[in-house]
Amino acid sequence: MGCAVSTTGEKAALARSRKIDRDLRAAGEKAASEVKLLLLGAGESGKSTIVKQMKIIHELGYTPEECEQYRPVVYSNTIQSLIAIIRAMGQLGIDFADPNKADIARQFFTYASSAEEGELTPELVMLMKKLWQDAGVQLCFARSREYQLNDSAAYYLNALDRISNSTYVPSQQDVLRTRVKTTGIVETNFLFKGLHFK
């Protein structure tokens, strides 16, 4: 009495049960090392920038191919920044220090509107340099808190020679400073101190 003989079916069921228990334990350990991080915030509050920083710091950063894909974004951000500054000059009642720069600004708007998206022609660069050097443009830039302007405006406009070079490939810093409107949900994975962030 007290002794029982297991059948083959019971042994198989017990083995399956133990395997399921092991799998559940392993899944639990994996889930414990996975952290889900949700970034919420208003538009242009830095959510995408944080994600880019995590990729640069905790992964291997952007590959040269990925950086190359950001070149049109760098160009577009640079052009749009100068457009925003010049438009704000009218709103803030700031004149060009050199009256001839008004004609250059009109030429710039013409070239900028007809340029291919993400293209920076030598003519456009020349006009942009002349405008960026104007004291009136610099005054308007100094008052950028009074209108909407990308944080990276001065960074790119001060680097016109570098970014307009035909061999230009955006650096990690250039990529970090790009501004692209994010729509929808973006998921990025990175490791930090043995934890898998998602």
State the pLDDT at residue 27. Answer: 78
> What is the per-residue pLDDT for 30?
72
Digit-coded pLDDT (tens) for 148-160:
999 999 999 999 9
- Residue numbers belonging to the annotated binding site for GTP: 44-49, 151-152, 176-182
Long-range Cβ contact pairs of 97-104 (< 8 A, separation 24 or more): 97/134, 97/135, 97/136, 98/134, 98/136, 101/130, 101/131, 101/134, 101/136, 101/137, 104/130, 104/131
Q: What percent of the chain has pLDDT over 70?
A: 92
For residues 142-168, average pLDDT: 95
69-177: CATH homologous superfamily? GI Alpha 1, domain 2-like (1.10.400.10)
Annotated binding site for Mg(2+): 48, 182
Average pLDDT, the chain: 87
Annotated binding site: 44-49, 151-152, 176-182
Higher pLDDT, 29 or 153: 153
pLDDT (0 to 100) of residue 155: 97
Q: In three state form, how does the secondary structure of 20-41 look?
A: HHHHHHHHHHHHHCEECCCCCC
pTM of the model: 0.76
Residue 25's pLDDT is 81
pLDDT for the residue numbered 5: 55
pLDDT for position 1: 47
Tokens of 1: 């009495």
Rg of the chain over Cα atoms, rounded to whole angstroms, equals 28
Structure letter (DSSP) for residue 179: -
Over the stretch 39-58, which tens digit does the pLDDT of each residue have? 777 777 777 787 788 788 87
The residues near 197 (Cβ < 8 Å, ≥ 6 apart) are: 34, 35, 36, 37, 54, 58, 189, 190, 191
Torsion of CA 132, 118, 181, 190, to 10 degrees: -110
Q: Give the model confidence (pLDDT) of 84-114 as tens digits.
A: 999 999 999 999 999 999 999 999 999 998 8
